[in-house]
Amino acid sequence: MSAFEFLLLLAAIVLGLALTDLAVSVHRLMSARGRVHWDWLAPLAAIVAFLKILTQWWSWFSAESIASSLTFEMFLVVLVSSLLLFLLAATALPDDFGEGAVDLRDHYALVSRRFWLLFVSQWLLVQAVRIWAGIVINKAHVDLASPVWLVAPVALSLAFIRNRWWHTVGLLGFVALYLANGLGHVLTA
């Protein structure tokens, strides 16, 4: 087992569990059929979490060249960011709703602040590791003028602004961003 495989195995398991949590939540909602009052925001949040997990997992392939230089502290941050992704996925859809009705609009209203704060926290940790590894390992410089830095203020605004249309635009925007980030990219050795 290479250093890369060894280091990222634990984080990959956490991401696999996050995908499992999303799948189980979708299964429970489909099983509850008539008891579910559907709304678009919670399923969109689940799609964002799903795409964020896939993007994270996909991006790890390009990190193989730096795995042997990764410090314990960097790995700890990678693992914490994976745990935050799990919590993000677990927050998107309800898990246990007993025998009563399930209102996805109420669920999203209840968890949206936590969802977006987890989103921002995880995104900031990933950016911190990228910058840290880039400087320490590759002696690269940081481009603070990049539009990628708009992600955090937009996500923070979604944590504190309670406008459904803003949340719809934000969620659809992040779906588009993550799809655009990955579509057409292939893994190359």
Answer yes or no: is pLDDT of 187 > 60.
yes
> What number of H helices and E strands is found in the chain?
6, 2
Whether the pTM exceeds 0.95: the reply is no
Each residue's pLDDT tens digit, 77-123: 889 999 999 999 999 999 877 778 899 999 999 999 999 999 999 99
Domain boundaries, the chain: 3-182
Predicted confidence (pLDDT) per residue in 37-88, tens digit = 999 999 999 999 999 999 988 887 766 666 667 778 888 888 999 999 999 9
Q: In whole angstroms, what is the distance from residue 17 CA to residue 24 CA? A: 10
CA-based nearest residue to 92, from 118, 57, 70? 118
